[in-house]
Amino acid sequence: MTRDPEPPQPPGPAAPDPATSLPVDPDPWPGLSTGPNTGPDPDRYTVISADCHAGADLPDYRPYLERRHHDAFDAWAASYVNPYEDLVAPEADRNWDSARRLAELEADGIVAEVVFPNTIPPFFPSASLMAPQPSGEEFELRWAGLRAHNRWLADFCAAVPGRRAGVAQVLLGDVGEAVREVRWAREAGLTGGILLPGAPPGSGVPELHSRAYDPLWAVCDELAVPVNHHSGSASPPLGDEPAARAVFMVETTWFSHRALWHLIFGGAFQRHPGLRLVLTEQGSGWIPGVLDMLDYYHGRLVRAATKAATAEAKFGAGLADSMGKGPSEVWRDNCFVGASFMRPHEVPLRERIGLDKIMWGSDYPHDEGTHPYTREGLRIAYAGLPPLEVAAMVGGNAARLYGFDLALLDPLAARCGPTVEEIAEPLEKIPADATSPVFATGGAVRVW
């Protein structure tokens, strides 16, 4: 275990060669041309969840902090009250108990996972996904807390090589520090990339379209590090009244989607063509319509820029040169969706979204996740689809983006993966105690 890092020492295996880990023009379904599983059992799917969550128990973060922060941690931890029931209940150890986690995921048919954060890191008021940007006084300790989580996560992933792609956390208030952490994470074997924090209005950091973040995009491009943007991390504070909570549910995915058009219109992909953006747990049915809208505004503003006498000319000035490709082309070449428990009404849009873009996720161990009914969740969404398409969405695409080795995972799937035959069977009865929205009736494609 990496303890008292002064200076931090990068644990974990050597990083894969960035020149080969993320091809610029990859095969949409790598290794799947002969069937869902090219290993010992071709009749089973190799399922990789592109959306799971984990973190250490609060006291277990202490050894991963630099010693100079130990006294501050002890004082903070002594008075901290965890606001999340699922992190203090008997089930909380699913976040850090490696053996229990493996057993539950395998029983659910899942052989590998992309690991986003979940528990409270040191010096944070809440889970880091939802926490507001730190003030200047808080910044140093918050950074120390995220580094402690990243170092714990590197050990957690190294405990089962090839089966966990950990997502490292960064802050946006110091881009130079973020760049250094990206390099550390790559060397430490955190193959899940980085978690891009939200920059909601009023956050105090530049908007995501700003060129201030170019050093961060550049290092992610250089090292083939995916940039993940998870739902819930970009909404401004709304309060805690019933209306505020309802408004949050209506708006939160829209605020999360903003990263897409900020990076597109900001020209990040033009300047850093190997940059990969993943939008996770934000649904997927909104993507075709939003891309149509972005293409419309792009074309309208670029055309307006050629007509100096029009009122709109100033809005499109320089846009064509700074952006390069249009929004749909950027999506095709640079973006993915962590579609999580893809809902039945989203599935007919899969070709418009991109069959090589969709990565299914269970959201384990969250209540809204599919565990322990992942097979049923896959059936209700994917029954009747061509097996090659299912194989790509439930594992092949994630393997390609995050560097999972299917030669390692296929034999595991031959033991515990769901069969092609069972996933092809339509689900006639929803489990009575299922809590995932994938089983909710009346779903429809959202405006965003």
pLDDT tens track for 217-248: 999 999 999 999 999 888 888 988 999 999 99
Instruction: Give CA 238 to chain center in angstroms.
Output: 24
- Beta strands 277-280 and 227-230, pairing class: parallel
Between residues 307 and 158, the one the model is more confident about:
158
Tell me the per-residue pLDDT of 37-92, one tens digit each, with 9 for 90 and over.
Answer: 877 788 999 999 999 999 999 999 999 999 999 999 999 999 998 878 888 888 99
Which residue do the tokens 């808080």 mark?
A: 138
Q: From the CA atom positions of the chain, what is the Rg in Å?
A: 21
What's residue 33's pLDDT?
A: 39
Rounded CA-CA distance 64/2 in Å is 6
Q: Give yes or no for residue 24 having a pLDDT over 80.
A: no
Q: Which of 13-17, 36-40, 295-299 has the lowest mean pLDDT?
A: 13-17
Place 9 in a pLDDT band, splitting at 50, 70 and 90.
very low
Taken in order 319, 320, 322, 325, is the CA torsion positive or negative? positive
Place 313 in a pLDDT band, splitting at 50, 70 and 90.
confident
Q: Which two tokens stand for residue 80?
A: 């901290």
Q: Give yes or no for residue 16 having a pLDDT over 60.
A: no
Strands (E), 130-286: 164-166, 168-169, 194-195, 227-230, 277-280
Q: Which of 114-118, 251-255, 268-272 has the lowest mean pLDDT?
A: 251-255
Tell me the per-residue pLDDT of 183-198, one tens digit each, with 9 for 90 and over.
Answer: 999 999 999 999 999 8
Over residues 146-151, the mean pLDDT reads 98
What's residue 282's pLDDT?
A: 95
Rounded CA-CA distance 138/121 in Å is 13
What's residue 15's pLDDT?
A: 40
Backbone phi and psi for residue 171, each to the nearest 5 degrees, phi listed first: -115, 155
Q: Which two tokens stand for residue 8?
A: 């931090």
Side chain identity, residue 218: A
Mean residue pLDDT across the chain: 90
Which residue do the tokens 């931890």 mark?
A: 77
pTM: 0.91
Angle at 276 between CA 207 and CA 370, to 5 degrees: 95
DSSP letters, 242-255, are HHHHHHHHHHHHHH
Over residues 165-174, the mean pLDDT reads 97
Tell me the per-residue pLDDT of 348-389, one tens digit each, with 9 for 90 and over.
Answer: 999 999 999 999 999 999 999 999 999 999 999 999 999 999
Short-list 277, 265, 252, CA closest to 194: 277
Q: Give yes or no for residue 284 having a pLDDT over 90.
A: yes
What's residue 35's pLDDT?
A: 62
Q: Give yes or no for residue 215 having a pLDDT over 80.
A: yes
The span from the first CA to the last CA of the chain, in angstroms, equals: 43
Q: Which two tokens stand for residue 156?
A: 């957690």
Q: Give yes or no for residue 114 having a pLDDT over 80.
A: yes
Rounded CA-CA distance 352/291 in Å is 10
Residues 6+ apart with CB under 8 A from 299: 326
